[in-house]
Chain A
Amino acid sequence: MPMRLPPLLRFWLPLLAVVTILGLVHALGGDHPSAQSIAMALLLTGTIALAGYLFAVIAQPERF
């Protein structure tokens, strides 16, 4: 069975991801970020999300 996120998380998680990406893009590239710094911000956000997912598995393994 494919997994589905709870409705609340389906709204907040993408929002959190967008905010993180924007913050990281600004931190890595300043006011005029290059394509590399945007990609790096995306990579870091993805890594953080992956770590969050692993924490969720550790905390509630039976849901997975």
Chain B
Amino acid sequence: MTSFPRVPFLRMPRGPRHERRHVERPRHQGLWRRALIDAVRKLDPRLTVTNPVMFVTWCGTALCLLLTLSPDLFDGPDAGQSRGFNGLISLTLLATLLFANVAEALAEGRGKAQADALRRTQARTEARRLADDGSIERVDSSALRRGDRVQVEAGDVIPADGEVIDGVASVDESAITGESAPVLKEAGSDVAGSVTGGTRILSDQLTLRITADPGKGFIDRMIALVEGAERTKTPNEIALTVLLAVLTQVFLIAVATLRPVAGFLGQAPSVVTLIALLVALIPTTIGGLLSAIGIAGMDRVAQFNVIATSGRAVEACGDVNVLVLDKTGTITLGNRLAEEFLPVGDHSVMDLAMVALAASCFDQTPEGRSIVRLAERLGATLAFDPSTARGIDFSARTRMSGSDTPEGVEYRKGAVEAIKGFVRSRGGQVPGALDDTFEQVSSLGGTPLAVCQGNAVLGVIHLKDIIKPGIRERFEQLRRMGIRTVMLTGDNPITAGVIAREAGVDDFIAEATPEDKISVIQREQALGKLVAMTGDGSNDAPALAQANVGVAMNSGTQAAKEAANMVDLDSDPTKLIDIVTIGKQLLITRGALTTFSIANDVAKYFAILPALFVEAGLGPLNVMQLASPRSAVLSAMVFNALIIPALVPLALRGVQFRPLSAEQLLQRNLLIYGVGGLVAPFVGIKLIDVVVNTLHLV
């Protein structure tokens, strides 16, 4: 087996996110008080019945309490049953149930705190609804319905989720994202055209079409999700529940048949001792912590400012084999900047700069603005009045943009192949030097943009891509975890290849169209892989729905957010990598605690079985030298109860994540949680036995 040097798992540099002022964070005051109240409420058997291990413990507790009140119920007054001993066992069993409930209630409470923080953004407000005749009617925000048109202006709280149908304005979304910098919202934009209820408009005025009825908005759905109202068991939890139920069933039958067998050997174990044995045998530790681990996993994702639509989505992250990543914003810094103009043929740098300026004067993207800046720095000026010209927007299909003047002059810039096609369609010739320049820029990892005026190619703009620092190490760690990374880019294959090599991704798809996203996902899924991806536009929605884990950006369209199973409130595509590690951590935590739970049962057998059958010659099995059969049973039960709160912090925080392969993780977990789970209870039960006897409890 290949061994890798251990390196700490790096967190992605977040840039401005470190400086973000989180206006509203979940408040955790009163969390414990609420958890304790909920823990008592969860003793209701109709709630406990969903957890087979804890329900069997609940039944045992009820029976022990009954035997505390009436010790001679089963065995008659001559059997020497002790009310005090029965009471102590009942209390430890009750504590076991309460500790397990506290763990679950604590995990739920953190989700509720997150929900409360979201709910505080939902203050009802007055809205200006536009009637069909254009008049304005003032209504309560709760009266708004899907399809209504409302007007909002500077200072207003946006009354409900909607899409911008008119106007441009800056909006403060800090209430839901924690990001204090305002974002621009404008009509007609795919990703900047949707607004969320509860956010505040800072400048100008917008006309909105409401897209959600009251109680059905984005924040309402998020509240329901983080509160756990829509929580259902994940496939892994169901599988583990079946395993725990099978173990419980086996031990129940074994313990139920033990009394006649013991009777045959001349022993008469009391019902309380048999209940103690049953509870010691069944995996109460993992049974008590199972749901808390799942809820805490969702909570960890929420603390990352990512809202998961279900626990299933978080869990799926842990099983992901392939990450499909957009190059821009995820692997490289979002904005490519114009580095230089490279003319071809007889054209000069100034000629190229003039045409590049003309082709970019309507382009408001950072790339377009950087081209304008570079051209103006070189002294280029516009040869026409922009107010009379028409801007041609970039599209994924044409892969070029530009402007048309009233005189019929067409200025274009875009992907080299797209410009070649454009020039040929106008009857022009493509100079051979264009390909040489294209390769020169591509081989440097830059993005070449060809520039033409009508049917004449003038040259190439070199756009420089900057790979995010630390990303190569992240990909290396993901590779060690068995996760393959695929980069999608609209760049040509040479540029894409250079960036893929520098960034260390495993595969790349160059000149990718939106359809390529879905086809690459389907191809990987056909090979049995689980795929994760991010997206924000409406054209990403099918791929987000197809992916096993689809993370939509909060700045994205409603369609993208509805198709995805997670929404990143910070709109940071790099977070996909972090989300996958949280999912892995969730699965590792569940596996580690299951291993621990099953391993620590062994010591309990050595405590209780010799105590039960001391007269049948099993005394030598009392390897812990426990003082008496009753103190042995009580010590095992106390340990069984105390181990649950001892492991609650681990269940809620998750085990420390290390980017190791599945095989290495299994070895590590078996060593730490298997051997640890085997040894710890021997020490713990012995210590408790000493205390029990010192205090003369039995």
Tell me if A50 and B47 are in contact (CB < 8 A): no
Tell me if B271 and A43 are in contact (CB < 8 A): yes
> Is A12 an interface residue, CB under 8 A from the partner?
no
Instruction: Report B230 CB to chain A, min CB distance, Å.
Output: 11
Q: Given the interface contacts A43-B271, A50-B56, A61-B233, does A3 sit within 8 Å of B49 by beta carbon?
A: yes
> Is B646 an interface residue, CB under 8 A from the partner?
no
Contacts of A4 in B (CB 8 A): 46
Tell me if B74 and A51 are in contact (CB < 8 A): no
Tell me if A50 and B74 are in contact (CB < 8 A): no
Tell me if B59 and A50 are in contact (CB < 8 A): yes
1/0 per residue A4-34: CB within 8 Å of B?
A: 1000000000000000000000000000000
Contacts of B74 in A (CB 8 A): 36, 39-40, 43
- Which residues of B (33-56) have their CB < 8 Å from a CB of A? 44, 46-47, 49-52, 55-56
Tell me if A64 and B241 are in contact (CB < 8 A): yes
* Complex CA–CA separation, A2 to B46 (angstroms): 5
Q: Given the interface contacts A36-B76, A43-B271, A64-B241, does A51 sit within 8 Å of B49 by beta carbon?
A: no
> Is B12 an interface residue, CB under 8 A from the partner?
no
Instruction: Report A19 CB to chain B, min CB distance, Å.
Output: 20
Main secondary structure of the interface of A (DSSP, over half): helix
Tell me if A64 and B52 are in contact (CB < 8 A): yes
Tell me if A2 and B52 are in contact (CB < 8 A): no
Which residue of A has the minimal Cβ distance to B44?
A2
- Give the interface size class of chain A: 20 to 34
Q: Given the interface contacts A47-B252, A53-B52, does A61 sit within 8 Å of B241 by beta carbon?
A: yes
Q: Given the interface contacts A39-B73, A43-B271, does A54 sit within 8 Å of B242 by beta carbon?
A: no
Which residue of A has the minimal Cβ distance to B76?
A36
Instruction: Report A44 CB to chain B, min CB distance, Å.
Output: 8
Which residue of A has the minimal Cβ distance to B244?
A57
> Is B238 an interface residue, CB under 8 A from the partner?
yes
Tell me if A36 and B249 are in contact (CB < 8 A): no
1/0 per residue A32-60: CB within 8 Å of B?
A: 00011001100110110011011101100
> Is B616 an interface residue, CB under 8 A from the partner?
no
Instruction: Report A45 CB to chain B, min CB distance, Å.
Output: 12
Partner of A54, one of B46, B233, B245: B245
Most chain A beta-carbon neighbours within 10 Å: one of B74, B233, B271? B74
* Complex CA–CA separation, A20 to B537 (angstroms): 63
Which residue of A has the minimal Cβ distance to B233?
A62
* Complex CA–CA separation, A54 to B459 (angstroms): 75
Partner of A64, one of B49, B246, B253: B49
Contacts of A61 in B (CB 8 A): 233, 238, 241-242, 245
Instruction: Report A3 CB to chain B, min CB distance, Å.
Output: 5
Partner of B249, one of A3, A35, A39, A54: A54
1/0 per residue B483-507: CB within 8 Å of A?
A: 0000000000000000000000000
Q: Given the interface contacts A2-B46, A62-B238, A64-B50, does A36 sit within 8 Å of B245 by beta carbon?
A: no
Which residue of A has the minimal Cβ distance to B237?
A61
Q: Given the interface contacts A3-B50, A47-B252, does A58 sit within 8 Å of B242 by beta carbon?
A: yes
Q: Given the interface contacts A39-B73, A61-B245, does A51 sit within 8 Å of B47 by beta carbon?
A: no
Instruction: Report A62 CB to chain B, min CB distance, Å.
Output: 6
1/0 per residue B266-282: CB within 8 Å of A?
A: 00000100000000000
Tell me if B75 and A36 are in contact (CB < 8 A): yes
* Complex CA–CA separation, A53 to B63 (angstroms): 17
* Complex CA–CA separation, A12 to B49 (angstroms): 19
Which residue of B has the minimal Cβ distance to A34?
B76
Contacts of B47 in A (CB 8 A): 2-3
- Which residues of B (233-255) have their CB < 8 Å from a CB of A? 233, 238, 241-242, 245-246, 248-249, 252-253
Contacts of A53 in B (CB 8 A): 49, 52, 55
Which residue of A has the minimal Cβ distance to B49?
A3
Tell me if A54 and B252 are in contact (CB < 8 A): yes
Contacts of B238 in A (CB 8 A): 61-62
1/0 per residue B68-82: CB within 8 Å of A?
A: 000001111000000
Partner of B256, one of A39, A47, A55, A58: A47
Tell me if B245 and A58 are in contact (CB < 8 A): yes
Instruction: Report B407 CB to chain A, min CB distance, Å.
Output: 69
Contacts of B246 in A (CB 8 A): 58
Tell me if A3 and B46 are in contact (CB < 8 A): yes
Which residue of A has the minimal Cβ distance to B245?
A57
* Complex CA–CA separation, A39 to B249 (angstroms): 22
* Complex CA–CA separation, A39 to B242 (angstroms): 31
* Complex CA–CA separation, A61 to B242 (angstroms): 6
Tell me if A51 and B253 are in contact (CB < 8 A): yes
- Which residues of B (65-104) have their CB < 8 Å from a CB of A? 73-76
Contacts of A46 in B (CB 8 A): 59, 63
Contacts of A50 in B (CB 8 A): 56, 59, 252
Partner of B252, one of A43, A51, A58: A51
Contacts of B59 in A (CB 8 A): 46, 50
Contacts of A58 in B (CB 8 A): 242, 245-246, 249
**Top-6 shortest CB links A-B:** A2-B46, A57-B245, A54-B249, A61-B238, A57-B52, A64-B50
A-B contact pairs, 15 of them (CB 8 A): A3-B49, A36-B73, A36-B75, A36-B76, A39-B74, A43-B63, A43-B271, A47-B252, A50-B59, A54-B249, A55-B249, A57-B52, A58-B246, A61-B245, A62-B233
- Besides A36-B75, A55-B249, A57-B52, 18 new A-B residue pairs in contact (Cβ under 8 A), listed by A number: A3-B47, A3-B50, A39-B73, A40-B74, A43-B271, A46-B63, A47-B252, A51-B253, A53-B49, A54-B245, A54-B252, A57-B242, A57-B245, A58-B242, A58-B246, A61-B238, A61-B241, A64-B51
